[in-house]
């Protein structure tokens, strides 16, 4: 998987992303914008074909974890995933770069006061008003150009950090309150040490058995790139690849909002290509947009059943490593608690902690987190990792150990715990 990703798949998608980032969409005519968007859609589809193939790395991790658990019989079910942590990822790099910005604020009383007193929108204005603020903004904007092509989920309609920097500014506000001991690099080195210790013990356990030793090394070689590929494909495909798609769509939406075809620029995300072509000629698409927004609101309130038909028998599924891998990734619903004051979940990383629970439904709400709080959320993705050095633990509605574990090592001391469950208000 590593060879395919580094030598074939990533090189195949990078040129399209790079050209999309550099193109001047404001210089294109309406028809050229539509044509450009259609071509970019083909690149978008090609990226998600790669995305589907990458899912097999989940199976590789699952096969190794099963072998490790049978071999070592660890007390903590998440121990096997600690052997896959402590590898470099772009998410860690992004977090470390944000940490360095937080250190700049931490060491400056003037910047610290500005961050403490102002919300993100006003903060940008206040920073422009001083020499040290403008110097910081120069570094911050450089960060956004490198790492700001991301949003909190997968939707093309999600605003990116480059467009609305409130999320990274909130994260910096949290980082500036931490002391130097919380440096993500320290956590990363601890993760490497823990991984190496576990693998020394695993290799010692099979030292006298050539067959098991060979199986351990072969399975680990397949599983080792799990965290890197899982995080880095998200950076390029789910985040940067989606972010560039917004550029021509928004460029199309601005004149449509101006000529009255839609109410506001972002309504363009509710239009098809054919709708856009009609809107360019002046056709009113406001009714289409309203109907589609209502449809989304309707379906957003419906909780889907976990399975359609009879759930597969775990014993029968042992011959399907990809299916087993997905079960680990998304998590198997735990038995409901009989105690109404207890919420049952799946441990996704080791540890026990007590703290104040705060529901964070979107990254825009991240400012409510204080050091040691328990962050309760629907799901996490790599853009959420800056919060993990602030939170004492994370509780998520969805996901399993392999969905949660890769983001944590090196960027957090958090304990992760996955639902599904009904989050408190």
Q: Tens digit of pLDDT for each residue in 52-69?
A: 999 888 889 989 999 999
pLDDT category at 368 given cuts 50, 70, 90 is confident
Q: Which stretch of 27-31, 165-169, 238-242, 362-366 has the lowest confidence by average pLDDT?
A: 362-366
DSSP string, 82-143: HTT-S---HHHHHHHHHHHHHHHHHT-HHHHHHHHH--HHHHHHHHHTSHHHHHHHHHHHHH
- Delimit the CATH 3.50.30 region(s) of the chain: 327-418
Q: State what percent of residues in the chain have pLDDT above 70.
A: 88
Q: Which candidate, 375, 398, 357, places its Cα nearest to that of 153?
A: 398
pLDDT at 413: 35
Q: Which candidate, 355, 360, 388, places its Cα nearest to that of 373?
A: 355
Alpha-helix residue ranges (DSSP H) falling in 5-89: 10-22, 30-54, 56-72, 79-82
- CA separation for the pair 409, 407 (Å, rounded): 6
What tokens appear for 168 in the block? Answer: 């990274």
Q: Which position has the token pair 């990792």?
A: 385
Greater pLDDT, 90 or 318: 90
Greater pLDDT, 36 or 153: 36
- CA separation for the pair 102, 105 (Å, rounded): 5
* Burial of 235: CB neighbours in 10 Å, binned 0-12, 13-18, 19+: buried
Residues contacting 35, CB < 8 A, separation 6+:
none
Query: For the residues 7-17, what does the mean pLDDT come to?
Result: 97
Greater pLDDT, 366 or 128: 128
Q: Tens digit of pLDDT for each residue in 240-269?
A: 999 999 999 999 999 999 999 999 999 999
pLDDT at 275: 96
Q: Which stretch of 26-35, 60-69, 194-203, 393-402 has the lowest confidence by average pLDDT?
A: 393-402
pLDDT category at 100 given cuts 50, 70, 90 is very high
Q: Tens digit of pLDDT for each residue in 144-182?
A: 999 999 987 778 999 999 999 988 998 898 889 888 988
pLDDT at 39: 95
| pLDDT greater than 80 at residue 297 | yes
DSSP SS3 for 417: strand
Considering the domain 327-418, what is its CATH architecture?
3-Layer(bba) Sandwich (3.50)
Strand partners, 358: 375
């Amino acid at each position: 998987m590593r060879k395919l990703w580094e030598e074939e798949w990533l090189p195949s998608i990078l040129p399209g992303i790079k050209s999309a980032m550099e193109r001047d969409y404001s210089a294109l005519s309406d028809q050229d914008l539509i044509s450009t968007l259609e071509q970019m859609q083909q690149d978008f589809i090609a990226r998600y074909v790669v995305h589907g193939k990458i899912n097999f790395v989940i199976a590789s991790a699952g096969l190794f974890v099963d072998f490790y658990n049978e071999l070592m019989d660890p007390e903590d079910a998440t121990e096997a995933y600690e052997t896959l942590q402590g590898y470099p990822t772009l998410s860690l790099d992004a977090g470390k770069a944000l940490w360095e910005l937080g250190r700049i604020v931490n060491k400056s009383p003037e910047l610290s006061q500005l961050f403490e007193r102002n919300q993100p929108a006003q903060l940008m204005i206040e920073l422009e008003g001083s020499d040290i603020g403008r110097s910081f903004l120069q570094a911050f904007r450089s960060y956004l150009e490198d790492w700001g092509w991301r949003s909190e989920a997968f939707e093309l309609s999600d605003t990116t950090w480059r467009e609305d920097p409130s999320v990274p500014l909130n994260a910096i506000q949290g980082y500036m309150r931490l002391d130097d001991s919380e440096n993500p690099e320290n956590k990363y080195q601890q993760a490497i040490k823990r991984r190496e210790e576990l693998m020394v013990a695993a290799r010692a356990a099979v030292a006298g058995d050539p067959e098991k030793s060979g199986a351990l090394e072969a399975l680990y070689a397949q599983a080792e790139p799990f965290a890197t590929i899982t995080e880095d494909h998200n950076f390029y495909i789910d985040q940067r690849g989606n972010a560039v798609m917004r550029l021509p769509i928004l460029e199309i939406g601005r004149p449509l909002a101006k000529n009255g075809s839609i109410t506001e620029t972002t309504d363009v995300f509710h239009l098809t290509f054919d709708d856009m072509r009609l809107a360019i000629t002046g056709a009113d698409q406001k009714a289409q947009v309203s109907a589609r927004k209502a449809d989304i609101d309707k379906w957003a309130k419906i909780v889907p059943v976990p399975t359609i038909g009879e759930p597969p028998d775990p014993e029968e599924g042992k011959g399907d490593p990809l299916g087993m891998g997905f079960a680990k990734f998304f998590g198997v619903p735990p038995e409901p608690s009989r105690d109404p004051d207890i919420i049952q979940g799946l441990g996704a990383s080791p540890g026990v902690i007590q703290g104040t629970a705060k529901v964070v439904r979107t990254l825009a709400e991240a400012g409510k987190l204080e050091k040691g709080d328990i962050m309760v959320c629907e799901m996490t993705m790599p853009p959420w990792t800056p919060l993990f050095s602030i939170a004492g633990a994370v509780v998520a509605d969805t996901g399993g150990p392999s969905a949660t574990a890769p983001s944590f090592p090196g960027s957090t001391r958090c304990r992760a715990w996955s639902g599904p469950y009904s989050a408190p208000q």
